[in-house]
C-alpha cells in the first residue's frame, strides 16, 4: 500500500475521527443541495446529482422538518398499528417500491444522520411509509380524506385571451389544517445527473420525495382522492404507491418513448399497474398544447383496486363540462359511467358558462370562488407554455385561496442554482458512473490538481478497503488536449457485498467524498 505523507495522514485521521458518531461528516462530503428560499410559508429546495446524492442532500438540509412531519403528524395517524405499516413496506407483498427509491430513502436518512437531525432514528422504511401512507391506510381499512379539485383548460377555452389556446390547470389541495403540515410546506426540485431523467419539481411537505403535486418543463400531475370509492383492496397485489407512479411519469424523459412530452406519458406510467392501485384515486394531468390533440394535452385518470382498475377520461367524454375544459374533484365520472357530480362540480359547471375566455387569471378566480373547501392548504396553477407556476400557501389558519399568490418561472425553478454552478467550478471535477453498480464503477476526473491524488474506498462504517495514489498528471488543464479526460480509473466492487460505500479523493488542499451504492447483479 502506498505510504501517505504526514499532511494526508492528518486528513485521514480527521476523517476517521468524524466516524465516531456518524460517517461521513459534511466536512468530507459535498452536499448537493441548497435551500433557495423560505418565504410565503414555502421552502424551495434544490438537490442535484444521482439518486443517492439528491436524497442525502434533502435529508441533510431538511432533517429537522422531516422529523417533525413524521413524528408529530404521520406516525400518530397509525397509532398502535404503525408496526403493521412498516411491515407492509418491508415485506413488499402488498406494496412494491422500486429499489432505486429505496436507496434514495436510505440516502435521506443518512443525510439526516450526518446533519445530526435524525433524533428519533428514522430509517428508510419510515421514509417510505411517509411516501405511501395513503395506500397503506386503505390497506389497513382506513381512508385519508383530501378534498382536492382541479380545472384544466386549453384550446377553444383559452382562445381569444392572453393564453391564445395554451393550456392551464388550477388545483386546490384541501387537507386537514394541521399546524405540522402548515409549517412544513416544501417545493422540492430535482436536477438528476442520470441519463433518461429530466428536471422536475414536487410540491408537498417535508419528507415527501415522491409526487403528490408535481411538474417538469412540459407536464404537470396532481393527485386527488376518490371519496366515493368504498370497495376493498385485495392484499398481496404488490401495488405501486400512487405518488411513486406520478414521480416516474414526470421524472423520466419521454416515459412512453413516443417522441412527445405530454399526458400520454402519465397514462403510460399509470397503465403499467394493471391491477390498479391500493386506493381509489383521481389524477389530473396537463401538458403544453403543442400538438393540438386533446388526448395529448389533458387527462383525468380514475384508478381503483377493483375492476375497472384504470379508467382514463379526456375531452371526448360527455362529462357536462363545456368546451376544451376538464374538471375533477373527488367523485367518479367516467369509471363505470358513474357520472357522480358533487356540489363543487356543479358549481364550476355553472360558473364556466360556455367554457370560453379562460386565461390563467380568469381560471384562477373561478377556482378560487367556486371550488375550494374550508381547509385549503395549497392553491396552485401550472401554465407550461407561459413559463408560469403560481402558488398560494396556507399561513397560520388562513386558507391558501384567501392569500396572495406568488408567480414563479418554471424554467428558473427547474434550472441549476447559483450554488450548484459555483460548486461545480470550484471543486475537483469528478464523476462516478454507473452509480448504483453491480461490479465496476468508473471514476472520471476532468480537472487538474497539484501533487499526488489519493483515492480511498471505504465501507459505510468508514473502514478503509482500498487505497491507491494517482499521480503523473499535469498541474494545468491547458497542457492536455481539450477533448481528453484528465484521468480515468475503474474500481472493482465485485469482491464486496452489496451496500453503501464512500469513495474519497484527497490532495494537499483537502479531500472530497462521494457516496457509492453496490447492488446485487
pLDDT of residue 483: 38
Residues 87, 15 within the same domain:
no
**Looking at the predicted structure, is the pLDDT value of residue 20 above 90?**
no
Residues 244, 230 within the same domain:
yes
What residues contact residue 124 under an 8 Å CB cut-off, 6+ apart? 102, 105, 106, 108, 109
Tell me the C-alpha distance between 334 and 232, whole Å. 20
For residue 457, is it within any domain?
yes
Which of 353, 387, 418 is a domain's end point?
Answer: 418
The per-residue pLDDT for range 492-511, each reduced to its tens digit, is 998 998 888 888 777 655 56
How many domains does the chain divide into? 2
Residues 24, 38 within the same domain:
no
pLDDT of residue 33: 93
The per-residue pLDDT for range 443-481, each reduced to its tens digit, is 877 666 556 677 888 887 667 788 888 764 444 333 333
The per-residue pLDDT for range 198-249, each reduced to its tens digit, is 999 999 999 999 999 999 999 999 999 999 999 999 999 999 999 999 999 9
Residues 254, 308 within the same domain:
yes
Grid cell at residue 243: 405518488
**Looking at the predicted structure, is the pLDDT value of residue 439 above 60?**
yes
pLDDT of residue 17: 31
Share of the chain above pLDDT 70, in %: 86
pLDDT band at 7 (very low <50, low <70, confident <90, very high): very low
Residues 24, 44 within the same domain:
no
Residues 460, 344 within the same domain:
no
The residue among 260 and 29 whose pLDDT is bigger is: 260
Residues 387, 467 within the same domain:
no
The per-residue pLDDT for range 302-344, each reduced to its tens digit, is 999 999 999 999 999 989 999 999 999 999 999 999 999 999 9
pLDDT band at 348 (very low <50, low <70, confident <90, very high): very high
Residues 394, 458 within the same domain:
no
pLDDT of residue 461: 67
For residue 493, is it within any domain?
yes
- Run of H or E including 135: helix 133-139
CATH of the domain at 499: 2.60.40.3080
pLDDT of residue 402: 97
Residues 254, 283 within the same domain:
yes
**Looking at the predicted structure, is the pLDDT value of residue 370 above 80?**
yes
For residue 128, is it within any domain?
yes
Residues 222, 279 within the same domain:
yes
Which of 496, 492, 473, 467 shows the shortest CA–CA distance to 15?
467
Which has the minimum average pLDDT: 158-162, 242-246, 392-396, 516-520?
A: 516-520
pLDDT of residue 72: 97
**Looking at the predicted structure, is the pLDDT value of residue 26 above 70?**
no
The per-residue pLDDT for range 61-117, each reduced to its tens digit, is 999 999 999 999 999 999 999 999 999 999 999 999 999 999 999 999 999 999 999
Residues 319, 437 within the same domain:
no
Q: At residue 448, what are phi and psi to the nearest 5 degrees?
A: -75, 160
Which of 385, 418, 451 is a domain's end point?
Answer: 418
**Looking at the predicted structure, is the pLDDT value of residue 427 above 80?**
no
Which of 153, 198, 168, 148 shows the shortest CA–CA distance to 325?
153
Residues 175, 43 within the same domain:
yes
Q: At residue 340, what are phi and psi to the nearest 5 degrees?
A: -90, 90
Strands 185-192 and 42-49: parallel
For residue 1, is it within any domain?
no
CB atoms within 10 A of CB 184: 23
**Looking at the predicted structure, is the pLDDT value of residue 425 above 60?**
no
pLDDT band at 143 (very low <50, low <70, confident <90, very high): confident
For residue 97, is it within any domain?
yes
pLDDT of residue 3: 32
pLDDT of residue 428: 43
pLDDT band at 144 (very low <50, low <70, confident <90, very high): confident
Over the chain, what is the mean pLDDT?
87
Strand partners, 331: none
Domain that holds residue 162: 33-418
CATH of the domain at 155: 3.60.60.30
For residue 193, is it within any domain?
yes
pLDDT of residue 373: 92
The per-residue pLDDT for range 120-141, each reduced to its tens digit, is 999 999 999 999 999 999 999 9
Which of 388, 418, 448 is a domain's end point?
Answer: 418
**Looking at the predicted structure, is the pLDDT value of residue 10 above 70?**
no
DSSP for residue 5:
P
pLDDT band at 429 (very low <50, low <70, confident <90, very high): low
Share of the chain above pLDDT 90, in %: 69
Amino acid at each position: 500500500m502506498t505510504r501517505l505523507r504526514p499532511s494526508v495522514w492528518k486528513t485521514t485521521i480527521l476523517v476517521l475521527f468524524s466516524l465516531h458518531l456518524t460517517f461521513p461528516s459534511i466536512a468530507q462530503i459535498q452536499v448537493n443541495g441548497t435551500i433557495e428560499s423560505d418565504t410565503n410559508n414555502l421552502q424551495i429546495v434544490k438537490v442535484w446529482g444521482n439518486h443517492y446524492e439528491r436524497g442525502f442532500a434533502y435529508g441533510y438540509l431538511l432533517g429537522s422538518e422531516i422529523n417533525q412531519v413524521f413524528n408529530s403528524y404521520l406516525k400518530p395517524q397509525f397509532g398502535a398499528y404503525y408496526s403493521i405499516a412498516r411491515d407492509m413496506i418491508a415485506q413488499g407483498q402488498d406494496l412494491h417500491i422500486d429499489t432505486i427509491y429505496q436507496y434514495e430513502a436510505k440516502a435521506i436518512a443518512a443525510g439526516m444522520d450526518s446533519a445530526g437531525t435524525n433524533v428519533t432514528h428514522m430509517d428508510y422504511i419510515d421514509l417510505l411509509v411517509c411516501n405511501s401512507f395513503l395506500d397503506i391506510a386503505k390497506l389497513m381499512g382506513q381512508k385519508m380524506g383530501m378534498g382536492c379539485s382541479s380545472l384544466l383548460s386549453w384550446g377553444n377555452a383559452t382562445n381569444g385571451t392572453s393564453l391564445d389556446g395554451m393550456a392551464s390547470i388550477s388545483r386546490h389541495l384541501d387537507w386537514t389544517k394541521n399546524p405540522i403540515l402548515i409549517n412544513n410546506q416544501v417545493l422540492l426540485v430535482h436536477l438528476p445527473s442520470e441519463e433518461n431523467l429530466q428536471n422536475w419539481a414536487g410540491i408537498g411537505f417535508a419528507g415527501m420525495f415522491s409526487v403528490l403535486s408535481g411538474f417538469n418543463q412540459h407536464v404537470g400531475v396532481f393527485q386527488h382522492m376518490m371519496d366515493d370509492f368504498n370497495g376493498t383492496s385485495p392484499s398481496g397485489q404488490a401495488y405501486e404507491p400512487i405518488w411513486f407512479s406520478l414521480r416516474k411519469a414526470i421524472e423520466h424523459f419521454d416515459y412512453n418513448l413516443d417522441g412527445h412530452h405530454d399526458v400520454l406519458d402519465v397514462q403510460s406510467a399509470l397503465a403499467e399497474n394493471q391491477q390498479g392501485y391500493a386506493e381509489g384515486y383521481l389524477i389530473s394531468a396537463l401538458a403544453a398544447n403543442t400538438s393540438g390533440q386533446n388526448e395529448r394535452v389533458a387527462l383525468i385518470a380514475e384508478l381503483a383496486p377493483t375492476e375497472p382498475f384504470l379508467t382514463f377520461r379526456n375531452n371526448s367524454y360527455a362529462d357536462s363540462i363545456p368546451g376544451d375544459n376538464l374538471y375533477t374533484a373527488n367523485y367518479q365520472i367516467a369509471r363505470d359511467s358513474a357520472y357522480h357530480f358533487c356540489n363543487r362540480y356543479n358549481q364550476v359547471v355553472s360558473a364556466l358558462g360556455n367554457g370560453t375566455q379562460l386565461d390563467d387569471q380568469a381560471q384562477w378566480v373561478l377556482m378560487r370562488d367556486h371550488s375550494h373547501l374550508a381547509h385549503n392548504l395549497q392553491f396552485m396553477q401550472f401554465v407550461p407554455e407561459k413559463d408560469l407556476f403560481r402558488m398560494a400557501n396556507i399561513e397560520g389558519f388562513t386558507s391558501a385561496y384567501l392569500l396572495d399568490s406568488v408567480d414563479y418561472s418554471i424554467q428558473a425553478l427547474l434550472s441549476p442554482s447559483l450554488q450548484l454552478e459555483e460548486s461545480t467550478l470550484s471543486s475537483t471535477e469528478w464523476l462516478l458512473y454507473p452509480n448504483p453498480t453491480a461490479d465496476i464503477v468508473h471514476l472520471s476526473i476532468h480537472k487538474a490538481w497539484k501533487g499526488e491524488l489519493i483515492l480511498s474506498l471505504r465501507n459505510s462504517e468508514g473502514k478503509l478497503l482500498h487505497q491507491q495514489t494517482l499521480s503523473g498528471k499535469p498541474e494545468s488543464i491547458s497542457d492536455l488536449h481539450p477533448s481528453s479526460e484528465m484521468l480515468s480509473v475503474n474500481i472493482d466492487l465485485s469482491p464486496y457485498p452489496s451496500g453503501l460505500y464512500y469513495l474519497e479523493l484527497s490532495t494537499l488542499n483537502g479531500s472530497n467524498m462521494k457516496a457509492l451504492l453496490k447492488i446485487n447483479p
